[in-house]
Structure 1
């Protein structure tokens, strides 16, 4: 069965969600260089922007947003997740963003209500 990820008549569209996540990163970090003192504030701002917009556009879903920001210092960054859900109505989208000084990974999990 193909996943359509729909709740209350609203279809979850990974392309538009990716844009939302990317815009939140761009609006928060923009052209700033990595600053470990600012990371907690950036993460809070990014997840709040994403949640606010996701609740408005996709009200028939419960949303979980995660954000990882790591300075580029030569070490690797590996991430993985696993879910046990309804493939027909639940979905997720992960966006990776990078600059010369940092990597950012934001994920939205949308669970049908």
Structure 2
């Protein structure tokens, strides 16, 4: 039980740090929202008829969608790990297992599926 508790607190700490980085780093969500709010609206740009237009193939659109789904899953697993602290009414062992499960999911999203989708997107 002691080792499970230590693993849980390490997982929650790591996920809290990653969540803060995900939200507040210079390319994070907080700065994206701030930039969208602070940038004034521009007039629509006019494109010439002779402009070269390339559309993504359906495969590339699908891989981009999967990449976005992967990012959302990573974000939700970080939030799930961090909010497992709020499950104080559950048995401690169950709460620890839930938090560690979300932590493992965030590791899978960030270390396995994320690089796979990025590699497939680069190939296409």
Instruction: Return the structure number with greater strand share.
Output: 1
Scaled by the length of structure 1, what TM-score is found? 0.26
TM-score, length-scaled by structure 2: 0.24
